[in-house]
Chains A and B, each alone.
Chain A
C-alpha cells in the first residue's frame, strides 16, 4: 500500500517538498523560538495574506507577491521596532493585523473569497507542482547554506545580544538577516500547511526538541527529525484516510510534544542519557 502511494508523482513531490520545508522551518524556527519571537512566523504569514490577495487581484502568481509583501513588511516592522523601541509581541500584533486588513480590502475589491484564497489559507502539499518543488529545494538549500556559514555568529547573537555586540558581531545586520530568512521560509512553507497553521511548524518541533537536547546541535537535529517525521507521516496518513494534510501534520507534531511533556513530567527525560545515545564517542 505504502509503496503504491509512493509511486505517484504528486506524492513524491509532496514528500520531497515536505522534507525540505520541515528542515527549513525547524532550523529557522529554532532561532525565532530562542529569540522569543515564536509568533513572528505567524505574523509574516498573515502579512503574506495581503500579498496573495494582491497577486490574485492583479493576475500575478500569488506566491511571488506574497514573497514581496511579506519580506517588505517584515523588514519595515523590524526597523520600526528598533527605532521606536516597540516590544517584540506588539510588533508581531501590528504586522499580523495590518496584513490581514490589507488582504481583506483587496479581496473585497476582487469580488470576495475564492477557492484560490482557501488553498493558501489552509495549504495542500499534495497539489505542489514540479516547478514549486524545484523552487522549494533551491530556497531550502540556499538558506541552510547561509545559516551554516553564519552558524556561530547567529547562535551568539541569539544567546546574548549585548555580549555578541561587544565581541564585534554585527548583531543588527544578523537580526535583519534572520527576519529576511524567516520571511522567505514562511511564504515557501505556506503551500504545505497554509497561512493559518504555519507557526506550528516553526514552534512545535523546536519546543519539543529543547526539552530533550543538551546542546544546540543536538536540539537542531532532534527538531529536524520531529518535523520531518510529522510531515512525512502526516502526508501519508492524510492520503490514506482522505483528511486534510495540514491539520494532520500539525496534530502529529503536537502529539510528539504531548508525549515528550508526559515523559518529562514523569522524570524520564534526562539530558545525559540523550547525550549518550546521540554522541557516545564524546563522553
Chain B
C-alpha cells in the first residue's frame, strides 16, 4: 500500500528551480533513505510533504489524501527537524517539551515514548541542558507520542557525535522493524543508508534514482554517477552561497 505518492513535483524559489519534476511513491513500512548533496532539495521536498511549502507544481498524496486539500494526514506523521531550533534558555523540561500540544491524559504515552528512545532518566532536565543528540531523541519521543504511521527525519544526526549517532540509528531501526513505522529519512551518510534503509532515493533537484537500496549500493556505475553529479552540485551550491 502506498503511504506517500509524489507526482511531477516541481518547486521554484524566485525563478530558481529547487525540485524538478519529481515522481515516486513510498510504501507502508518502507525505510527510505533520501540522499543528495547540499542544495539538492531534500529539505524542500520535506517542506512540501509537511505542508510548510504550499506553492509547488504537481501533486503529493499522503494515505491517498491530497496534501493541498486537507491537513488531517499530519496527525499520522511525526517530524524530526534537522536541528532542534528553540531559545537556549527556554524554561521547559524534557517531559514538558514532549507534552507540548498534546491533549490531557497522555502521561502514560509520554513515559513510554521517552523509554522508547532511552531518555526517560532525563525527563526532568531542562531541555537546553541536553546535548544535541539527546535533544534529537527528545524530538523523536515527541513525534512518537502521537502514534505516527510515518516518521520524517531531516538529516537528524547533523552535529551529533559518533556514539549518539549509533544510538539514534538503532532507535530508528527498532521503530521501523518492531513498531512498523514507515521511516523517511534524509542523510549524507551513505554507509548508514546502506545499512539501515531498504529503499533509496537519490535527489539532486531531479530524482537520480529511486528503488531498492541493495540495487543502488551494489551498482558501482550508479554510485560513481551519483558521486560525480553530487560533486558538481556541491561546487555549484558553494559558488552560489
Contact = CB atoms under 8 A, between A and B. Distances in A.
Contacts, number: 76
Contacts of B146: 167
Contact of A216 (B79, B86, B91, B101): B91
Contact of A166 (B51, B96, B103): B51
A119 B35 CA distance: 65
Interface in B127-168: 129, 139, 146
A156 B100 contact: yes
A213 B99 contact: no
**What interface size band does chain B fall in?**
20 to 34
Contact of B92 (A36, A153, A162, A216): A216
B237 interface: no
A215 interface: yes
A163 B75 contact: no
A282 interface: yes
B93 interface: yes
Contacts of B139: 163
B50 interface: yes
A229 to B, nearest CB: 19
Give the bracket for the number of chain A residues in contact with chain B.
Answer: 20 to 34
Interface in B67-98: 71, 74-75, 77, 79, 81, 84-87, 89-93, 96-97
Nearest to A164: B101
B124 interface: yes
A142 B75 CA distance: 30
A5 to B, nearest CB: 36
A79 interface: no
Contacts of A217: 96
B52 A165 contact: yes
B132 to A, nearest CB: 15
Interface of A: 34, 36, 152-153, 155-156, 159-160, 162-169, 209-210, 213-219, 271, 275, 282-283
Given A163-B79, A166-B77, A215-B126, 15 more contacts: A34-B87, A156-B101, A159-B87, A159-B97, A162-B52, A164-B100, A165-B51, A166-B52, A166-B79, A169-B101, A213-B91, A214-B91, A215-B92, A215-B93, A283-B124
A-B pairs, top 9 by smallest CB distance, nearest first, are: A156-B100, A156-B101, A219-B91, A213-B91, A215-B93, A168-B74, A216-B92, A166-B79, A166-B50
Interface of B: 50-52, 71, 74-75, 77, 79, 81, 84-87, 89-93, 96-97, 99-103, 124-126, 129, 139, 146
9 contacts: A153-B101, A155-B92, A156-B100, A166-B52, A210-B91, A213-B91, A214-B93, A214-B126, A215-B96
